[in-house]
Chain A
Amino acid sequence: MNDLGWLFNRGTLTFIAGGLGVTLELAAVAIAVSFVAGVLLALGRLSRFRPLSIVATLYIEGMRALPVLLVIFFAYFALPRIIGVKLEPFTAGAIALSAFTAALVAEIVRAGILAVPKGLIEAAQSQGFSGAQILRIITLPIALRQMMPALVAQFVTLLKDTSLTAVIGILELTRRGQLVFAQPPFQPIPVFALIALIYFTANFSLGQLGRRLETRTL
């Protein structure tokens, strides 16, 4: 039991590292898509065009009220039957995580936009700036800086949620760990310790980075 050579060898460690790679890849895709979608959803919710605002609100509140695991299962098992296309686990996982996180990002962005001092906006309007210019030059930059901490926290959550895609078979970090201890000598505990350490390092570092960004932008 004290000899961990079966775990700490080049092949197995490379295999596990590959899992971390897939985890990060999945998170990166989801972060990118959910950020764009989240900003658009937030703008949609804030829009004065009623139907748009209602649809955006329904999507946001609906997604936020559901477990992300349900969204993942839905994307992998149910969605293909609706759109008639069979989805790869990675694609389904990416869609699920993006769609889910977009709703949460939308709320963060909306709070950020609403926190921009109205006085600034009014001043710019009286100077003749158009709605689009105000959005681009004043609102979004201020709001983005303000919501950095919340966004980073959300992305840490996203990194953790990638582990849930293990259940639809994506060979990310958690799943590869399971495969390793399903082989001789069948010792789960050292594997779990290693996997937990990797997640901890990744998420803790991300959290610290967020904290540093927060103090820099204040």
Chain B
Amino acid sequence: MDWSVLPENAGLLAQGLLLTLEVSALALVLALALGVIVATLRVAPSAALRRIGTAYVEFLRNIPLLVQLFFLFFALPSIGIRLPAFACGVLALGVYTSAFVAEAIRSGIAAVPKGQLEAGLSSGMGYASAMRMIVLPQAITKTIPPLGNTALNLIKNSSLVSTISMLDILGTANLMGSRSFQYVPMFVGAGICYLILTLPAAFAVNVLEKRYAR
């Protein structure tokens, strides 16, 4: 085992780390935006809207992320939609995670007493305003721990973009490993990179959980 490949490729791994961060950050923004919209659907008064929201969540949560990613990358070109690999990665990751964000927010909202919403509606506020100004702020407190977990999972799931030949942490480690046949050092290096990202985040989630525990 030749451990010198690790310092030799440290620069490339660092670039991979950067790409992982880029993909994760953009996907997280997308996931949060979509997640809030879908969560609102799921607690809407209209049964039809609720059903749409539930279908969205159940559909995305039960199909593997890899299948969704491969669909965007390998299948869509056959009908002329050719998104760059980066876009496929962000889109698949963001949409997939949005289902979990929606679920986290929904359970946060469900934990807010019903009286709050009713009070808002009876004072003349529209449904959207009541949600936005009264219910959601309270729901956010309850949602932060599960959201933190979802964000953590998103960073780990970003590793899937290596399968569509993107050079994130895992992709770089895999490529360098196959070239030098020194898989152990390269994957250990990849592991370290991921730990650098996820351990602090996991610690933060732990702290948040204790602060906002029921």
Contacts and interface: CB of A to CB of B under 8 A. Distances in A.
A188 B190 contact: no
Given A70-B170, A203-B62, A174 B202 contact: no
Interface string A157-193: 0001101101100000010001001000011110010
B15 interface: no
A199 B100 CA distance: 18
B128 interface: no
A67 B156 contact: yes
A163 B66 CA distance: 7
B1 interface: yes
Interface in B49-69: 58-59, 61-67
B184 interface: yes
B64 A199 contact: yes
A77 B199 CA distance: 25
Chain B interface residue number, banded = 35 or more
A173 to B, nearest CB: 9
A196 B61 CA distance: 11
A163 B64 CA distance: 7
The prevalent SS among residues of B at the interface is: helix
Interface centre among B71, B79, B157, B188 (most CB of A within 10 A): B71
A66 B189 CA distance: 12
Contacts of A161: 64
A65 B160 contact: no
Contacts of A203: 61-63
B78 A187 contact: yes
Nearest to B193: A70
Interface of B: 1, 58-59, 61-67, 70-71, 74-75, 78-79, 156-160, 162-163, 170, 173-174, 177-178, 183-184, 187-188, 190-191, 194-195, 198-199, 202
Given A166-B66, A174-B67, 9 more contacts: A67-B159, A70-B191, A74-B187, A81-B184, A160-B63, A164-B66, A174-B66, A189-B79, A192-B75
14 contacts: A69-B163, A70-B159, A70-B190, A73-B173, A77-B178, A78-B183, A163-B64, A178-B70, A189-B79, A195-B67, A196-B63, A199-B64, A200-B59, A204-B58
